[in-house]
Structure 1
Amino acid sequence: MTIYPVYIFENSDVRHAAEVISLAEISEIMVVDSNHNLIGVVAEGDLLRRIMPDVEEIIAAGGTLSHAFTLFVEKGAQLAADPISHLVIRDPISVKPTDEVAQVATIMLQKQIRRLPVVDNKRLVGSISRSDICRAVIFNTNRGGEVAEKNSISSGI
């Protein structure tokens, strides 16, 4: 579990969200209120879909890759100051620090999620990724392939 998750506040704009996602090299970012209560999540795919020009726009502009890129940049610049609240996926699937690693891994695989917020009484206290799960399995499996002990996600992942 990452105890210092990357997050932005709900009053942030699209530009700030994109900058943080890019600089932190992550594919999604947690959004919190002023009390650090989890509001939701914004994924880089949500940002891209919002600024991606549609085919008709590209054709009308000339139809080339260069025209598409120009439209993409222009649309991104127009939306940069928009509040991130329009893109937030509210009430995302989250887990608790006491949830078992196997339970969290099952959720991630079934829902095809790479990272989940870890929440304690609505407050964002961390995040857990598929890499964290893999580390937990490796470090908690003895050489014979048996699980040494069941662990919650807050127990040293």
Structure 2
Amino acid sequence: MLVREIMTAPGVSIHAGADLDEAIDLLASKRITLLPVVDDSHHLVGVISEIDVLRRAVEPDSRAQLGLLPDSEPLPRHLTEIMTKEPRTTTEGADVADLVDVFVTTSIKSLPVVRGEELVGIVSRSDIIRAFWRKDSELKDELVSVFADYGQQGWEFDVAHGVVTIRGTGSARDRDVAVAIARSVLGVRRVRVEGEG
């Protein structure tokens, strides 16, 4: 599965000249965790995340503290004061399996998708979850259609919980092609092949 198949495009973004309140409003109203920041050419120049906001916007409450609190720092007014510059990104042709590794080994919840320097979308953990939430009957219908498009009608399929079992005969190369085709279908979690070469 490729990023282009599941990403949100064009996605919500904000101009680098916007103020911080506008960024916070977008994060809250759109219920997103990451907001790409772009310049006039729609090139990605940074991101502002929930974490960036939380680090600077929430002060200790004196009612919960035993001692005196230090004087407040002035609140940042411009989003470029707290945005993350040079953020981690991905591309449209990236393998979603590689993103899963990033998402499970870091605190990152979403990534901007770029083509060169241009922002073209955003991909999140929830996009991946949604991609895998398809009924087995839908998957089977799409597999039949996709295999027909590739002239590979000689295979039979069973689908259970997103796991595809392919049955048929053919060479090792034929089986490899069948597996590659099945894996290209959005929502397929695993592919097994039964049958002799």
Residue of structure 1 equivalent to 2:67: none
Q: Counterparts in 2 of 1:31-110, with a 5 A limit?
A: 31-54=37-60, 58=61, 63-64=62-63, 79=75, 82-110=77-105
Q: Counterparts in 2 of 1:145-156, with a 5 A limit?
A: 145-146=163-164, 148-150=182-184
Contact 2:52 2:84 (C-alpha < 8 Å) held by counterparts: no
Residue of structure 1 equivalent to 2:168: none
Say which of 118, 122, 136 aligns to 2:117. 122
**Shift, 1:88, TM fit:** 1.1
Contact 1:100 1:151 (C-alpha < 8 Å) held by counterparts: no
Alpha-carbon separation, structure 2, partners of 1:48 and 1:113: 15
Letter in 1 for 2:113: V
Alpha-carbon separation, structure 1, partners of 2:133 and 2:20: 38
**Shift, 1:133, TM fit:** 1.2
Residue of structure 2 equivalent to 1:71: none
1:38-84 C-alpha deviation (Å, 9 max, x unpaired): 11111122212212224xxx5xxxx315xxxxxxxxx79x636x211
Equivalent residue of 2:55, what SS? helix
User: RMSD between aligned alpha carbons?
Assistant: 2.8
Contact 1:14 1:79 (C-alpha < 8 Å) held by counterparts: no
The number of residue pairs the alignment matches comes to 136
Q: Percent identity, aligned pairs only?
A: 30
Larger % of helix: which?
1
Residue of structure 1 equivalent to 2:10: 4
Residue of structure 1 equivalent to 2:160: 143
Unpaired runs of 5+ in structure 2?
1-6, 65-71, 141-158, 165-178, 187-197
Which fold has the larger relative contact order, with Cα–Cα distance below 8 Å and residues 6 or more apart in sequence? 1
**Shift, 1:150, TM fit:** 4.1
Q: Whose Rg is larger?
A: 2
The 10-residue stretch of structure 1 (135-144 or 40-49) with the greater mean CA deviation from structure 2: 135-144
Alpha-carbon separation, structure 2, partners of 1:40 and 1:114: 16
Letter in 2 for 1:116: L
Alpha-carbon separation, structure 2, partners of 1:111 and 1:48: 18
Unpaired runs of 5+ in structure 1?
66-74, 153-157
**Shift, 1:97, TM fit:** 0.1
Alpha-carbon separation, structure 2, partners of 1:122 and 1:151: 29
Instruction: State yes or no: 1:21 paired with 2:55.
Output: no
Residue of structure 2 equivalent to 1:72: none
